[in-house]
Structure 1
């Protein structure tokens, strides 16, 4: 029987409104009441994770930034896998050569140096997740909510990460108008053996230290909890979830998942807008899936 569940957030645990549905909340409670350890495993920074969990009144461990950092339920850091400053600067150089907008997540939060492109990028993300929105509506929503967004604007990201107290945890690049450029960048980054390069959507590229992968982080959390991987369940929808889907004894792909993830997962569940996570949790527990 499963003893630990790790769920992705965007496209998985969260619905089209970026919230955790009531069915998903009830399933998480059902698992926790049975002594099963539930946690999120996401590409988000902890400051982007906490609002959704707080709104749902869920307290749990968190694997963030694709495995670059993990926290216990009291927000204490359990482990970290960062990118060295010199390597981070080389990555930035490649992204800037291709005119790709990027953000950097560090031990101090998530940072950008271009407010206008941040708003445009987030608006495009909202349009993708909420198709009923027009782009103009999404721009207005993003601009109005900027003060609530967990990101900090600095004049120069290269100068910022050169500070000795800063530890780079993840770099993410966005390209909505020229997604083919991301493949070119991915090819260039293959020269750096220290990196893990993945994505959480067709219009982004996520860059971490090679030890910062969801599968490795799930394995490390299971070891800390003394739970065998055969009794670990993972749920995801995109490329950055593949390593944890392959790692776990019980794995679910969302109905809205990419084909590669569906092929790798043992089981499939409903879409994120139809509480697929909740359905997977109830099924795994009630049917004693292995």
Structure 2
């Protein structure tokens, strides 16, 4: 039996190159992994609607983790578990965003994506999953982080150095993978997790093999077991060849 039975892949900055594409080499080696009996799982901060085109393009019929673990899918279009972010917290997070007019903000709900260009008139009526801020000015993000970082009930990470992502406390890609382990009869030691940003750290720490991309943030590289190539160097394909399918 293979040491690793599930490969959890972040999408942006990991599986996808800077053009938002899956390289031919990555696609080929993902197919090799599937043919060898390895489950390949998208594990992303994206919402379901943003992740499913990539999953379907690869022909995956496997579990998915979306919105940083807020949703766990037993397979595409089959929701297993959802953890929501209280609407009162979203209202407060939105109020913080409005105090910083140069910062972009967005939030995922079960109805879809709302953002600065299209916010809802009735946020209390929505079922929320995640809230985010984006700015090229890191000092603005630091101000926001200083304010919301002391609130109770939040899990705060990022998916790039230029954003802040907010989930309910305890929700992470690691919690999503632990739920999949319960569902599929796996152990976390049998999982390889690959990522590049702070929202990948919990999964990288908890998995049997935690892999940081060559383009990962320094904090991610510090906690990873190994570092692979960048997302422009088919780093995912390298992981599959060197670790997942190694006999």
The residue that corresponds to 2:56 in the other structure is 54
Q: Indicate which of 34, 37, 40 corresponds to 2:36.
A: 34
Does 1:247 pair with 2:206?
yes
Counterpart CA distance in 2 for 1:203 and 1:276 is 22
Residue 190 (structure 1) aligns with: 149
- Give the alignment's Cα RMSD to 1 decimal: 1.4
Higher relative contact order (CA 8 A, sep 6+): 1
Structure 1 position 171 matched with structure 2 position 131: yes
The secondary structure found in structure 2 opposite 1:10 is: coil
- Name structure 1 gaps, 5 residues minimum: 115-152
Q: Deviations over 1:255-286 (max 9, x none)?
A: 11111111111111111111101110121133
Is 1:112 aligned to residue 135 of structure 2? no
User: Partner residue of 1:271?
Assistant: 230
Partners of 2:33 and 2:245 within 8 A in 1: no
Compute the displacement of 1:219 (Å). Answer: 1.4
The correspondence for 2:191, drawn from 232, 242, 245, is 232
Does residue 102 of structure 2 align to residue 102 of structure 1?
Answer: no
Tell me by how many angstroms 1:113 deviates. Answer: 4.2
Whole-angstrom CA distance in 2 between matches of 1:58 and 1:195:
32
- Are 1:22 and 2:21 matched, yes or no? no
Q: TM-score, normalised on structure 2?
A: 0.94
Larger radius of gyration: 1
CA-CA distance at 1:98 after TM superposition: 2.1
The question of whether the paired residues in 1 share the 8 Å contact of 2:10 and 2:44 is answered with: yes
Would you say 1:161 and 2:133 are equivalent positions?
no
Distance in 1 separating the partners of 2:76 and 2:45: 19
Question: Which residue is 1:223 aligned to?
Answer: 182
Q: Does the C-alpha gap of structure 1 residues 285 and 71 become closer, same or farther in structure 2, counting only changes over 3 Å?
A: same
Structure 2: where are the runs of 5+ without partners?
Answer: none
Cα deviation 1:172-197 (Å, max 9, x = unaligned): 11112x22111111121122221001
Judge conservation of contact 1:222–1:232 (CA < 8 Å) in 2: no
**Which stretches of structure 1, 4 residues or longer, exceed 4 Å deviation after superposition?**
none
- 1:180 and 1:276 map into 2 onto residues whose CA distance is 31
TM, length-normalised to structure 1: 0.80
Equivalent residue number for residue 243 of structure 2: 284
